[in-house]
């Protein structure tokens, strides 16, 4: 217990500060991935002139290793585009870009799975295309895609450990600093792993709860 108290409990403020940064990075990346994935999906499906561009971006984000994308956004983008202006922003942006490629395909599969007859019925009832998409298509897409969306968030959480290589002071970075200070990795890295596991568990539980509420709201039986 002596080592656990000295290396983990007495360093809890450092670990919690790092965990706070991890949460911020993951939430920002996930929000960007949702918006970016939906935009890429809609462009691919409904904007014919830009479809090749959307397909190219989706495949690029999906097929490039996250470490490469992280280095690319952190060190190339500031020289070429003038942003991001910090390693923190580079971290969540790189994670969000990769996940947006996967979510774009998730959304596309969900949209294409909605029967055409439902849209035709909505148009016949006087709904506009936007109303049909918002009230008929998207609820079904979200329900069908909820497990994949939550899973993508967990992927972001696990991939976020790599932002430590660009000096973002996340949980992994703070853990490494403690290990380098004390040279006793067992307790520190075990505690770090437990924190990540607990975070992923909470994310998964919240995702299931949200999906169940959506099913109840739209008159479906939760499974």
Query: How do the pLDDT tens digits run along the chain, 223 residues long?
Result: 577 777 788 889 999 999 999 999 999 999 999 999 999 999 999 999 999 999 999 999 999 999 999 999 999 999 999 999 999 999 999 999 999 999 999 999 999 888 888 888 888 888 888 888 888 888 888 888 888 999 999 999 999 999 999 999 999 999 999 999 988 899 999 999 999 999 999 999 988 888 777 777 765 544 4
**What pLDDT is stored for residue 136 in this prediction?**
84
3-state secondary structure the chain: CHHHHHHCHHHHHHHHHHHHHHHHHHHHHHHHHHHHHHHHHHHHHHCHHHHHHHHHHHHHHHHCCHHHHHHHHHHHHHHHCCCCCCHHHHHHHHHHHHHHHHHHHHHHHHHHHCCHHHHHHHHHCCCCHHHHHHHHHHHHHHHHHHHHHHHHHHHHHHHHHHHHHHCCCCHHHHHHHHHHHHCCHHHHHHHHHHHHHHHHHHHHHHHHHHHHHHHHHCCCCCC
The architecture (CATH level 2) of 2-217 comes to: Orthogonal Bundle (1.10)
Residue 64: per-residue pLDDT:
92
Looking at residue 143, what is its pLDDT? 83
pLDDT at 221: 45
Please give the pLDDT value at position 220: 53
Domain boundaries, the chain: 2-217
């Amino acid at each position: 217990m002596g080592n656990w108290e000295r290396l983990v409990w007495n360093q809890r403020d450092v670990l919690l500060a790092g965990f706070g940064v991890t949460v911020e990075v993951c939430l920002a990346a996930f929000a960007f991935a949702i918006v970016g994935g939906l935009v890429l999906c809609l462009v691919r499906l409904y904007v014919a002139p830009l479809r090749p561009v959307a397909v190219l971006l989706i495949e690029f984000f999906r097929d490039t290793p996250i470490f490469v994308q992280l280095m690319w956004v952190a060190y190339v983008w500031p020289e070429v585009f003038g942003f991001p202006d910090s390693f923190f922003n580079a971290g969540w942006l790189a994670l969000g870009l990769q996940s947006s490629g996967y979510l774009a395909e998730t959304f596309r599969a969900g949209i294409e799975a909605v029967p055409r007859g439902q849209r035709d019925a909505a148009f016949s009832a006087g709904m506009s295309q936007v109303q049909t998409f918002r009230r008929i298509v998207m609820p079904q897409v979200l329900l069908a895609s909820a497990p994949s969306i939550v899973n993508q968030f967990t992927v972001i959480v696990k991939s976020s450990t790599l932002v430590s290589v660009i000096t973002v002071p996340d949980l992994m970075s703070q853990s490494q600093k403690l290990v380098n200070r004390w040279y006793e990795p067992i307790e520190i890295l075990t505690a770090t792993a437990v924190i990540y596991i607990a975070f992923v568990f909470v994310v998964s539980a919240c995702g299931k709860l949200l999906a169940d509420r959506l099913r109840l709201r739209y008159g479906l039986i939760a499974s």
